[in-house]
């Protein structure tokens, strides 16, 4: 009898661990680098691999910002100080190669014609070690850089948007409505995040108009299949800040909120926890939706509870990867590979 009980317990334990996401590093190699900072999934988020090995051992998750990361068809690039770490989609341990980055305080982003790096000045390279300046103005604070499919380059700054249609030789100030964060493009339509909500252009950035009016700040906008997804929030004084997730399938003209079903999923998942923890779960679910991407037919988004997937355009959500130490992930996609990075913030 004791033998059967012992066998049952052993079988139950093995079965239980087989249901957990594959997020634990090999204890024999964990000391070779930081752990639980960068994860990779090649199966739509069903399983995850910790690929932190090969990054600096003293790297902290709260030292990584969104503008230190970019992804293209060659994989994931992560800037740490004046070093640029690169991991290909099929990389194996130690996962990362390293090269020198031109500016210790710069940010990086991919473009159609090459890679852009900036702090107060914008530089570009076509993949070689030579970086050429194409925009120099120490008085401007550059927020982001974006290149359209047609080769037009946009620079977002605290006082609007600059545009170049000749690879950075000349620039024009096409939007002067205040701070702009980042841009997205789909089917000839441009959207940008702004302190004056999301703005929209249908003439290659020549003219812009606001399109979302219910919230006061737009944090992120991404292209998805057939349209766009956006993260906005209400930060009016004396009003609780609430993060909203919305989608548009008519070029950004109208928007549908899909955040309520995600919030309900988080609250339901908190059943069985203490009352205080459930209250905190509800508040965190309402306030922090960090990033949104599309992989295949699925929408994938993150907030402090982890990474969630929706296969029905936001009607229902499934937890893919729980958060680590209650830190929010930023997510990126290269082909069919998803990267999740614990970071201090920044969409």
- pLDDT tens per residue, range 253-298: 999 888 776 766 654 454 444 444 544 454 444 446 778 999 999 9
Nearest one of 89, 54, 48 to 71, comparing CA atoms = 89
Residue 128: per-residue pLDDT: 58
Provide the domain count of the chain. 1
Residue 103: per-residue pLDDT: 56
266 is a domain residue: no
Q: What is the mean pLDDT of the chain?
A: 78
Contacts of 315 (CB under 8 A, 6+ apart): 258, 261
- Give per-residue burial for 317-346: e unless 16+ CB within 10 Å, then b: bebbbebbeeebbbbbbbeebbbbbbbeeb
Cα-based angle 334, 338, 342 (whole degrees, multiple of 5): 120
156 is a domain residue: yes
28 is a domain residue: no
180 is a domain residue: yes
201 is a domain residue: yes
Residue 146 has pLDDT above 50, yes or no: yes
Where in the sequence is the domain holding 218, given as residue range(s)? 140-257
Residue 278 has which token pair? 């459930």
CATH number of the domain encompassing residue 145 = 2.120.10.10
Q: Could you tell me if 249 and 227 are in contact, meaning their C-beta atoms sit under 8 angstroms apart?
A: yes
């Amino acid at each position: 009898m004791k033998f059967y009980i012992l066998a049952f317990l052993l079988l139950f334990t093995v079965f239980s661990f087989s249901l957990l996401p594959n997020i634990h590093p090999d204890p024999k190699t964990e000391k070779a680098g930081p752990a639980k900072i960068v994860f990779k999934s090649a199966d739509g988020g069903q399983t995850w691999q910790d690929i932190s090995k090969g990054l600096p051992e003293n790297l902290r998750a709260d030292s990584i910002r969104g503008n230190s990361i970019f992804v293209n068809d060659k994989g994931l690039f992560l800037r740490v100080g004046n070093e640029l770490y690169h991991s290909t989609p099929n990389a194996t341990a130690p996962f990362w190669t390293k090269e020198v980055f031109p500016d210790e305080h710069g940010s990086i982003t991919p473009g159609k014609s090459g890679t852009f790096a900036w702090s107060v000045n914008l530089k570009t390279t076509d993949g070689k070690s030579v970086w050429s300046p194409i925009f120099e103005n120490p008085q401007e604070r550059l927020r982001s850089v974006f290149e359209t499919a047609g080769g037009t380059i946009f620079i977002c700054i605290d006082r609007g948007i600059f545009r170049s249609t000749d690879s950075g030789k000349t620039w024009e100030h096409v939007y002067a409505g205040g701070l702009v964060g980042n841009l997205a493009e789909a089917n000839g339509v441009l959207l940008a995040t702004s302190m004056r909500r999301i703005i929209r252009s249908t003439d290659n950035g020549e003219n812009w108009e606001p399109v979302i009016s219910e919230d006061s700040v737009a944090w992120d906008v991404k292209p998805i299949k057939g349209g766009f997804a956006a993260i906005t929030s209400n930060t009016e004084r004396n009003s609780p800040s609430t993060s909203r997730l919305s989608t548009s399938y008519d070029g950004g003209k109208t928007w549908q909120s899909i955040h309520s079903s995600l919030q309900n999923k988080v609250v339901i998942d908190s059943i069985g926890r203490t009352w205080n923890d459930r209250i905190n779960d509800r508040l965190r679910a309402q306030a922090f939706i960090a990033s949104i991407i599309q992989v295949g037919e699925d929408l994938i988004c993150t907030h402090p509870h982890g990474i969630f997937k929706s296969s029905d355009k936001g009607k229902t959500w499934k937890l893919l990867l729980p958060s680590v130490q209650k830190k929010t992930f930023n997510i990126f996609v290269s082909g069919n590979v998803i990267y999740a990075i614990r970071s201090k913030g920044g969409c």
